[in-house]
Structure formats: C-alpha cells, structure tokens
Amino acid sequence: MKKKIVFQKCNFNYIYFLFYILTYIVTFAIDHFLEPDEIKENDSKNKDYDKFYYTISKEILEIFSLNLSSFIGIIPYLIRQKLLQNENDNNDKNDNNNNASENSERRESITLIYNEESGANIKRKYILLYLLLIATFDYLKDLMFVLYYIIFPSEELDIYPFSFTAMFDTILQFVFSYLILKIHFLKLQRFSLFLNLGILIIILILDVIDIYINKILQGHIYVIYPFYLIFFCLEYVFGKKLILYGYISVYKLIIMKGFFKIFFNAIFSLIVFLVNKKIFIIFAVYFSELKYILLIIGKIIACFFIDLFLWIIIERFSPNHTPLLLIGEEICNFVIDLIYTKKSQKMGFHLYIRIVLYLISLIGVLLHNEIIVINICGLGSDTKYFLDEVVKSEELYNKADDPDILKRFETVEMNYLKDDIPETD
C-alpha cells in the first residue's frame, strides 16, 4: 500500500451522527425554555426559597420523560412489522406452483429457525437478562444527576467544555468492547487506545490545576459523573451484544427497556413520596401553563429520537463510535457556552490546549474505527483495508497474463506486503 493515509469511503449511515447532534441541540433548547418563570423570578429577586426542590423535580421529570419516550418506539416497530408482513405476502403471491410454494415455506422455516430458534435456544435465557441489565444501567445513568443534587444540594451541575468526560468515555468504550464484545485490538486500535489514554491524563492534570490552583472549575462533578459514564458505556456495550446474538431490533430493545424502567420508576417514586412529598407537589409548576406542557411533550419526542439515533449507530457501527458523538456534544456545548455563559473563557490558555487535545483525540477515534487508516511504522498492516488490498493484488496476480504486470509483483514492495500478511491457522 503506497498511500500513507487513507480515508475510507463515506457511508450513508453516517447521516445518523448528524441527526443525533441536531436532536441534541433541540433537547438543549427545550431544556432552556422549560425552566418555569416562577424559578427565574425568585432567582432574580433573591427571595428566600428552596431551589433544591425545583431542581430535583426537574431531574425526576427528566427521568419520567425518558421513560415515556421509549414507548414512542411502538409506532415505528408496528410499521416495520407491517412492512415485513407485506413483503412476505408479496413473495408468497409470486410462487406459481406447489414446488415453489414448498421451497418458499422451507426458506421461511429456515429463516424462522435462524432468527428465533437458534437465537432462542442459545440465548433465550440470556435475552431477558441482557434487557434487564440494559434498563438497569440506563436508569442508574439517569439517576446519577438526582443523586448529585441530593449530595450537593446547593451546587449546580456544571460541566465545562473539553473536560475529562469524552476522553474517559472513549477509554471506557474501548476497554468494555474488548472485555465484553471480545473485539480484538490490532496495531491501529492499540495505538489509538494509548493515544487517548495519554490525552486523558493530560486533561485530568489540567482539570486538577483549574480546580485546586486556579479555582475556576468545580470538583464535585468528579464524584458522580464518572459513574454516569460507566453506566452509559455498559448499557450500549451490552445492547450491542444483544443485537448481535439476540436477533433483536433496536425498536423492540427500546420498548422493552421502557417496560423495565416503569418498574424502576414505580419503586423510586414510592421512595421519594414517602421521604418528601413536596418534590411531587412542585410538579404542578411544570403543568401550570400550556407552553410548559407542550415543551414537555416536545422533550419526550426529542428524547425518543436522540435515543433511537444512538441505538441505530450502535447497531450499524459499534459502541466504539459513540466517542464521536460525545466529541460532537462537546463542540456544541462550547458554542452554546460562548453564546450564553462564557464560563469556558475562565480557563485562559488551558482552553486552547484542551481544544487541540480533543482534535487529536478525534483523530485517534477515527483511527480506532478505521475511518482513517495510516500506514506508518506498519500500523495499518493488519487493517481490513490493507487486507482487502492484498486480496485484490493476489487476484490480479493470479489472473494476469501481461509480463509487465507479473514483473511488478516481484518488486521489493510486494515482498514487503507479503511479509505483513498475518498468518492464519
């Protein structure tokens, strides 16, 4: 392979990354306008009121909204089932004789055995377990923000742009995919892993400096947010495993996850009601005006689409592609911060260092997923692109009759390629 840097062909499925980012921006806008005027007025007048209850109520409302959004998946699921049924009916009508009909039934039987029986016999007893794990990790992930305000009732949940979060998630995704999905790390993946690990260490050092020396960042987020990222990674790694070996669609997965979370919400709501009823009384503020009700409905719909696009990316790519989404979120958060709060400007020159490190990390993630392939120091020798090129070269050699072409394969370059071909058993 003469090229040192290769950009893989663009896949149409990458459009879901754009859809995810756009939906993320919509949810942020809804959250901005969802804050009731009563809270804003009390805050501006510095009246003596307990903002803790409003904050907790909003976070619990967020959990309920996420749960309700899962059941919107019933609509595309039923549409998909109807389309599959119509396709099967059309295939049956094309069979004009008994033999063809018999062969069709045999093919359908084989399909059912593959999709239902083989997956069921091997994995049926684990499918519900995986669904329960996915729902549990998803619920614990959302519960972390409520827990944050319980532990730090007077502190706002402030996450500065280009902090440790995306880097930590990148490392976790790589490691959990290796341990749970048994994804092998080749040279390029190992290089990307150590590259992002080094970047994470540098950003953590910068965070410590900004927390304890410059005192422009809050350290409270380090108590809760790492657990949020761990649950986030575990949810989608187990989800990918269920999609691969459980033969389950993303729509059905989202719906089943919603059913499990109803049970969790019921237990959580009972505990909150017994501990402090005032939290539920505050809910009346969010339903006091029509605009808030419409915003809540919009939030439920937006939450469904952001969850759907994420699961589609997991299904068609891998959990290792989610760091691309988080880096995209960091860029959006940075732009929003520049428009509204401008808190990131307090970092000074650290901000520019973080931006450069994030750009390097982005390149590392692209390398890890072989969206970009580099052939420097043999890093790209065992990638899919390289092996495909070797296969094409061998096919050309076997079919070639032109002496000039045959002579080309006797060069040192071809010998180098052959030496880099991994041995197979």
Q: How far apart are CA 18 and CA 320, in angstroms?
A: 17
Contacts of 111 (CB under 8 A, 6+ apart): none
Answer yes or no: is pLDDT of 135 > 90. yes
Q: Specify the DSSP class assigned to residue 150.
A: H
- What are the two backbone dihedrals, phi and then psi, of residue 63, each rounded to the nearest 5 degrees? -65, -45
Contact 189, 343 (CB under 8 A): no
Residue 387 binned pLDDT confidence (cut-offs 50, 70, 90): low
Q: What is the pLDDT of residue 412?
A: 39
Helices (runs of H) and strands (runs of E) counted in the chain: 18, 2
Q: What is the pLDDT of residue 424?
A: 43
Task: State the pTM of this model.
Answer: 0.79
Residue 310 binned pLDDT confidence (cut-offs 50, 70, 90): very high
Assign 206 to helix, strand or coil: helix
Q: In whole angstroms, what separates CA 281 from the centre of its chain?
A: 34
In the numeric block, which tokens belong to residue 290? 């029509």
Q: Where are the domains of the chain?
A: 5-374, 381-425
In the numeric block, which tokens belong to residue 300? 């439920």
Q: How far apart are CA 6 and CA 383, in angstroms?
A: 11
Q: How far apart are CA 358 and CA 62, in angstroms?
A: 29
Residue 276 region, left (φ>0) first, then alpha (ψ -120 to 50), else beta?
Answer: beta
Which of 209-218, 269-278, 357-366, 402-411 is least confident?
402-411
Burial environment of residue 208 by CB neighbours within 10 A (0 to 12, 13 to 18, 19 or more): middle
Other residues' Cβ atoms within 10 Å of the Cβ of residue 258: 23
Q: Hey, what long-range contacts does 115-120 have (CB within 8 A, 24 or more apart)?
A: 115/247, 116/247, 119/245, 119/246, 119/247
The predicted-structure confidence for 91-121, as pLDDT tens digits, reads as follows: 666 654 444 444 444 443 333 333 333 343 3
Q: What is the pLDDT of residue 256?
A: 93
Q: How far apart are CA 216 and CA 42, in angstroms?
A: 26
The predicted-structure confidence for 5-36, as pLDDT tens digits, reads as follows: 766 777 788 899 999 999 999 998 888 888 76
Residue 406 binned pLDDT confidence (cut-offs 50, 70, 90): very low
What average pLDDT is seen over the chain? Answer: 77
